Chain A
Amino acid sequence: MLYQWRSVLEYLPDFLRAMGLTLWITLLAFALALVCGLGAALARNSKNAVLRLGAGAYVEIVRNTPVLLQIFVVFFALPSFGLRMDAVTAGTVAIGVNVGGYLCEVFRAGISSVARAQREAAQVLGLSSRQAFISVIAPQALRNVYPATVNNLIQVLLGTSLLTAIAVPELTGVATVINARTLLFVQVFAIALVLYLVLSNALSFASGLLGRVLFKPPLEQVRPGLWPVRRARTITTTAEVAA
């Protein structure tokens, strides 16, 4: 028994390297998702019909087709149109674009959750609608959507495991390779599980700290729970309260 663990732990450097790649892909894909989500949210609220329709189509397509299929499209199909990317880049792009569609709707809900009364108070005070958006609406919307946005960050992390399908050496992929080599699936997947928990708790802890710095008066701390289920529940209830 002990010796089984020992032989799996010999692979620890491989696990850690894979964990690093998982974190790296998560952060890049999430950054892309933020850009896509914010752009699409502004486009969907814009006066320009072309922008509105384009952003609407993007959100509908991305949210109504399987992520795995989207990953395959980016990796296998785009090269036929001259867009060739290595597996890590393709996976990062696919996940970022996918989650951007969800973030778009989160951001839109956040903007409309700021009461009309706030806009009106700003208007009577003499602020232009642009000034009101920047100084009154956006800061409150950002605060309202923060918990849901952090939730999406965790979704990105968990979603990177799908990149196994295009042979990205991230945590899940590396675990399956080590499993095939050692056939110690209990030990191998237990380690992978623990490493995912470490990553997700670290990310939500860091987001909680950032939230405290970012928002005045401070956002109530979303306590990182050991079990993702409990944390997801905390985050959604906070999001509902905020909305």
Chain B
Amino acid sequence: MTATTAKEQSIASSIQLRAVTKAFGSVQVLKNIDLDVASGKVVVLIGASGSGKSTVLRIMSGLETADSGEVVVGDVPMHDPKRAPEIRGHVGMVFQQFNLFPHLNALGNVTLALRKSLKMSKAEAREVGLRCLERVGMQDRCANYPSQLSGGQQQRVAIARALAVNPRIMFFDEATSALDPELVGEVTSVMRSLAADGMTMVVVTHEMGFAHRTADRVVFMDDGVIAEQGSPEQVLKDPQHPRTQQFLARVLEA
């Protein structure tokens, strides 16, 4: 399903950021960010806490608006306030805290947007929803409420929920950071299988193993700028920028 979709939409699932800036009050959080993600590619964003990684994802998914610069996601110019809302329902976002809807069971979480936004019939939504849950290995738990699932299971349901609307691009914001170490693998393996199917992905993570094995490109952010980027091999094994070296030393130590 996703493989053909990705091919069909190969033109429309790339991302371009040009000279993007963003301030919160007097704090300049993003200073002149340029970033390109070609369709079907996996870009991993790394960097210290507070360096602006989440803000980049939130701008690309329409949750924040850039102060200046150009942001094109798929074929939607996000810097145009009139057109930015078009992105809704066309990208998927996976949050650190899962953000599942606690009053709906797993299937209800996955089908809500299908019913409300895509106006599917109940039966159709159920079929698509179950297929998405199966994709993340959660079809057996479709009747469970989020509070009845482990963190890893909740995050897999959250991924299924994002996949249900058939997005062109997926954003992951520290999707495994809130998980117990033994639960990280079940989530990263779902993410790897998405990447293998050709989904365009921008992933903020501290899992260097995932970055190394799955990323097409690793981007290191430092204090609102992109300090260094390149292949995982280059950036993770042979970093040039001193800040990258410091950051990696600290992460690998932990």
In whole angstroms, what is the CA distance A135 to B93 when docked?
19
In whole angstroms, what is the CA distance A170 to B156 when docked?
57
Of B88, B97, B100, B145, the residue contacting A124 (CB under 8 A) is B88
| A118 in contact with B99 (CB, 8 Å) | yes
Flag B130-146 by CB within 8 Å of A: 1 or 0 each: 00000000000000010
User: Is A120 in contact with chain B by the CB < 8 A criterion?
Assistant: yes
User: Is A139 in contact with chain B by the CB < 8 A criterion?
Assistant: yes
User: Is B30 in contact with chain A by the CB < 8 A criterion?
Assistant: no
User: Is A197 in contact with chain B by the CB < 8 A criterion?
Assistant: no
The minimal Cβ–Cβ distance linking A71 to chain B, given in whole angstroms, is 38
User: Is B113 in contact with chain A by the CB < 8 A criterion?
Assistant: yes
CB within 8 Å for A126 and B112 given contacts A120-B63, A216-B145, A217-B148: no
The minimal Cβ–Cβ distance linking B250 to chain A, given in whole angstroms, is 28
| B99 in contact with A120 (CB, 8 Å) | yes
Question: Chain A's interface: helix, strand, loop or mixed, by majority?
Answer: helix
| B103 in contact with A140 (CB, 8 Å) | yes
Chain B's closest residue to A126 (CB) is B89
In whole angstroms, what is the CA distance A122 to B95 when docked?
12
User: Is B213 in contact with chain A by the CB < 8 A criterion?
Assistant: no
User: Is B161 in contact with chain A by the CB < 8 A criterion?
Assistant: yes
CB within 8 Å for A124 and B62 given contacts A131-B117, A217-B145, A217-B147: yes
The minimal Cβ–Cβ distance linking B94 to chain A, given in whole angstroms, is 10
By a CB distance below 8 angstroms, the chain A residues around B91 are 124
| A124 in contact with B116 (CB, 8 Å) | no
Chain A's closest residue to B116 (CB) is A131
User: Is A24 in contact with chain B by the CB < 8 A criterion?
Assistant: no
Of A117, A126, A215, the residue contacting B103 (CB under 8 A) is A215
In whole angstroms, what is the CA distance A53 to B99 when docked?
34
User: Is B102 in contact with chain A by the CB < 8 A criterion?
Assistant: yes
| B145 in contact with A125 (CB, 8 Å) | no
By a CB distance below 8 angstroms, the chain A residues around B99 are 115, 117-118, 120-121
| B113 in contact with A126 (CB, 8 Å) | yes
Within 8 A of A (CB), among B45-95: 61-63, 88-93, 95
Flag B142-186 by CB within 8 Å of A: 1 or 0 each: 000101100000000000011001000000000000000000000
The minimal Cβ–Cβ distance linking B141 to chain A, given in whole angstroms, is 14
The minimal Cβ–Cβ distance linking A136 to chain B, given in whole angstroms, is 6
| A117 in contact with B95 (CB, 8 Å) | yes
| A118 in contact with B97 (CB, 8 Å) | no
In whole angstroms, what is the CA distance A124 to B162 when docked?
9
Flag A110-133 by CB within 8 Å of B: 1 or 0 each: 000001011011111111100100
Within 8 A of B (CB), among A186-216: 215-216
In whole angstroms, what is the CA distance A216 to B165 when docked?
25
Flag B239-252 by CB within 8 Å of A: 1 or 0 each: 00000000000000
The minimal Cβ–Cβ distance linking B118 to chain A, given in whole angstroms, is 8
Chain B's closest residue to A215 (CB) is B103
User: Is B101 in contact with chain A by the CB < 8 A criterion?
Assistant: yes
CB within 8 Å for A127 and B113 given contacts A217-B145, A217-B148: yes
User: Is A44 in contact with chain B by the CB < 8 A criterion?
Assistant: no
By a CB distance below 8 angstroms, the chain A residues around B161 are 125
Chain A's closest residue to B63 (CB) is A120
| B93 in contact with A121 (CB, 8 Å) | yes
The minimal Cβ–Cβ distance linking B77 to chain A, given in whole angstroms, is 18
| A127 in contact with B97 (CB, 8 Å) | no
By a CB distance below 8 angstroms, the chain B residues around A143 are 103
By a CB distance below 8 angstroms, the chain A residues around B101 are 118, 121-122, 136, 140
| B112 in contact with A127 (CB, 8 Å) | yes
CB within 8 Å for A135 and B112 given contacts A125-B117, A126-B88: yes
| A121 in contact with B88 (CB, 8 Å) | no
The minimal Cβ–Cβ distance linking B135 to chain A, given in whole angstroms, is 17
Chain A's closest residue to B90 (CB) is A126
Interfacial residues, chain A to chain B (CB-CB below 8 A): 115, 117-118, 120-128, 131, 135-136, 139-140, 143, 215-217
In the A-B complex, the 6 residue pairs with the smallest Cβ-Cβ separation, listed nearest first, are A126-B89, A125-B113, A126-B117, A121-B99, A124-B93, A126-B88
Q: Could you list 17 examples of A-B contacts with CB < 8 Å?
A: A117-B99, A121-B93, A121-B100, A124-B63, A125-B113, A125-B117, A125-B161, A125-B165, A126-B90, A126-B118, A126-B165, A128-B117, A135-B112, A135-B116, A139-B103, A140-B101, A216-B145
